[in-house]
Amino acid sequence: GYPNVGKSSLINSLKRSRACGVGAMPGVTRCLQAVQLDRHIRLLDCPGVVLDSGGPPAAAPLRGALAPQRLRDPLTPACAILRRCPPQQVRGD
């Protein structure tokens, strides 16, 4: 799945314990981890995967592929987000 969509959090919720590390930034899950839910169910937690869509480089941060702190140019992705929002939503009308 995509980075930071809650894969590890869902597993922790189903397990009712902290079986997987979670965080607000991409990259917390670094390797595949098997979590035994019960006798018959084993869940796999894995790092997020973002396939190259061939789109512009500014699209990668929008898919959660890069942590905001690692961006050289945060303005371009921010402008792309604003272009997707209705003007009244940005203004707070």
Contact between 47 and 7 under an 8 Å Cβ cutoff? The reply is no
75 assigned to some structural domain: yes
* The pLDDT value given to residue 55: 67
Q: In terms of C-beta density within 10 A (0-12 exposed, 13-18 middle, 19 or more buried), how is residue 32 classed?
A: exposed
Say if residue 92's pLDDT is above 90. no
Distances (CA, A) of 23 to 28, 33, 87: 6, 16, 31
User: CA nearest 55: which of 45, 67, 63?
Assistant: 63
* The pLDDT value given to residue 84: 84
20 assigned to some structural domain: yes
Reported as a single tens digit per residue, the pLDDT across 35-65 is: 999 999 999 999 887 766 666 666 667 776 6
2 assigned to some structural domain: no
73 assigned to some structural domain: yes
Identify the domain containing residue 65 by its residue range. 58-91
Total tally of structural domains belonging to the chain: 2
81 assigned to some structural domain: yes
Same domain flag for 17 and 41: yes
1 assigned to some structural domain: no
Geometric angle at alpha carbon 20, from 1 and 64, rounded to 5° = 35
